[in-house]
């Protein structure tokens, strides 16, 4: 079944669809739309070589993030795959570039297969299990990020600081602010009780939530699927936030808890 648009930061409003038509005109900018981390700072790909840029439907502005976990495997959000017109066939993965659209070098790979968690989109909690693994047609340019042990939770305890990465919007509601460069921001893991208060659908077994100390910062459209990194391991996969807008005060950012899916991810790594 469909998923509420309020949650998924890579499902764009009608205004953005109109913008996509405008992009076909000669005077239109080359990249426009989904969006980057609000706040934070730019960072070179060498500082996060496991980060992947995912292009949907051949459109530079329609994007998600991902994490290299093996030479030809990238973890991302399930809703990113669902947003592609033709599933895996509509996805391309760019690695090894700080500015994926403008830089040369690195690698551009086609996606030959996309595994989506079988329970994603199902009741009673269609937002849960928002995780996917992409298989590439060639090796990525970068280094795989370590996975946590299945069920490992101590490294994501409340109060722990994690680092997120993405190429999403830098200004809430303005699709023209999609980031050219990789951006990063630190967020603090919140107690499970606070996560549930922010969103009743929170499931502590499979989700994490975090927040930045200042308002109007966090991930936004185009960042979905990217990594939250703690202690050199994949801690979370960017999924949704608790507010109707990326810059809403007192918002919480929600991630799929990577350690809840380690065994499933490894199974996909072992599948050609």
Contact 252, 198 (CB under 8 A): yes
pTM of the model: 0.86
Domains 50-144+261-269 and 154-259 share a fold: yes
In this structure, what token pair is assigned to residue 158? 């409340």
Q: If pLDDT is split at 50, 70 and 90, which confidence band does 173 have?
A: low
- The CATH code belonging to domain 50-144+261-269 is 2.40.10.10
Q: If pLDDT is split at 50, 70 and 90, which confidence band does 37 have?
A: low
In this structure, what token pair is assigned to residue 41? 């700072």
At 33 the pLDDT is 32
- The CATH code belonging to domain 154-259 is 2.40.10.10
What percentage of the chain exceeds 70 in pLDDT?
81
At 19 the pLDDT is 36
Cross-strand pairs, 227: 237
Sign of CA dihedral 56, 61, 67, 72: positive
At 187 the pLDDT is 94
Pinpoint the alpha helices (H) of 7-140: 14-22, 78-83
Domain ranges of the chain: 50-144+261-269, 154-259
**Three-class SS of residue 197?**
helix
Q: If pLDDT is split at 50, 70 and 90, which confidence band does 23 have?
A: very low
């Amino acid at each position: 079944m469909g998923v509420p648009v309020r949650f998924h930061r890579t499902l764009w409003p009608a205004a953005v669809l109109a913008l996509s038509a405008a992009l076909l005109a000669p005077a239109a900018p080359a990249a426009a739309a989904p969006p980057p981390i609000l706040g934070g700072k730019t960072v070179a790909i060498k500082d996060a070589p496991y980060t992947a840029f995912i292009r949907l439907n051949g459109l530079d502005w329609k994007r998600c993030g991902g994490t290299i976990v093996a030479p030809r495997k990238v973890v991302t959000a399930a809703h990113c795959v669902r947003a592609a017109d033709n599933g895996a066939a509509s996805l391309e993965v760019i690695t090894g570039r700080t500015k994926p659209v403008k830089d040369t070098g690195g690698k551009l790979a086609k996606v030959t297969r996309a595994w989506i968690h079988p329970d994603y989109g199902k009741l009673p909690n269609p937002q849960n299990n928002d995780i996917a693994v992409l298989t590439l047609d060639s090796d990525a340019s970068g280094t795989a990020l370590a996975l946590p042990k299945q069920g490992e939770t101590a490294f994501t305890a409340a109060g722990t600081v994690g680092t997120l990465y993405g190429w999403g919007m830098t200004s809430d509601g303005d699709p023209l602010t999609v980031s050219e460069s990789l951006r990063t921001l630190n967020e603090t893991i919140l107690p499970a009780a606070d996560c549930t208060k922010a969103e009743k659908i929170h499931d502590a077994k499979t989700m994490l939530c975090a927040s930045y100390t200042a308002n109007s910062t966090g991930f936004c459209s185009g960042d979905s699927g990217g990594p939250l990194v703690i202690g050199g391991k994949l801690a979370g996969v960017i999924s949704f936030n608790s507010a109707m807008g990326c810059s809403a005060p007192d918002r919480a950012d929600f991630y799929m808890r990577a350690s809840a899916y380690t065994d499933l991810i490894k199974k996909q790594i072992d599948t050609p």
